[in-house]
Structure 1
Amino acid sequence: MANTPSSVFRVTDPELPFIAATAALEVDNVIHGRGAATPNLQKLSNLLRNSTSHLDHSTQPKHFMDPVSVDVFQRAIAESYNCHLNSIQDIAQKASEVAIQMASAPTKEDLLEILKRFCLELSRQAMTTRQMMQHSRSESPYKK
């Protein structure tokens, strides 16, 4: 089954900042014993997994994410995991690892804190990027 645009990680998805921020809240609730349900964390995991699942299959096209989404993801990883990824292959590998971490219903507090920071940073980066894109469209000299 092919991935539809709404089932893969895209910064242009208007729901992405909300999903990521809500996932951070869910993780915070798990950390503080206020609940165990993480439907938005799982949704975010699915978006990342759907964006990377085809990378190992030679019968499907070798694409990952659009360039803007790659940049936002890389910035969120750099801020939350304190690591810098130097290639698209490194970024794709990290996206796959993060998706697995999210899907595994982690219980270790240090991993939960990292995932919470990642989700918060992803939400912030996605919202900032979307606002910049909308602002640049509204100020285009070609727009009538």
Structure 2
Amino acid sequence: MTEKTDRHDTLQTIYKERLLQLFRNPLGTETPDAAAIRGWAKNRSCGDEVAFYSLLSENGVAQCWHDTAGCAISTATSSLLVEALAGKSREDARKLLDQIRAMVFEGKEVDVDDDVKILSAVHDLRTRHECVGVALKAAEESLEPKGSTE
């Protein structure tokens, strides 16, 4: 094995361990603020469901929560998004969701925080892409204020 292959394998192992940790101890599962906007998505092939909530402010995303009934990957993705989206402008939050899609679905190298980068481990698991996608879709929906036409 080459040094590059060893490093890749080590990173993949670390990433998978972190995904399992987030599944076992998900973040952002408290009751959401009543003013939070709910986004919802369902993976029709397996039944995973994600309700993602964003509390929006003048500056963007103030706080996020999720209620995920699904596999380890969809739960871990929702947990990561709770932390990754909070504090971002809505535009930056949408950009991050697009970067995650490019990383997971297309295998592209993207400039994201290390914690978000763990989702790159899912790229090689083609049958699990929608596990990430369902959380991304719900999170994206939660960024749209009620009645918005943006």
**TM norm structure 1:** 0.32
Q: Which gives a bigger RCO, structure 1 or 2 (Cα 8 Å, sep 6+)?
A: 1
What is the TM-score when the length of structure 2 is the normalising length? 0.31
Structure holding more strand per residue: 2
- Give the structure with the higher percent helix: 1
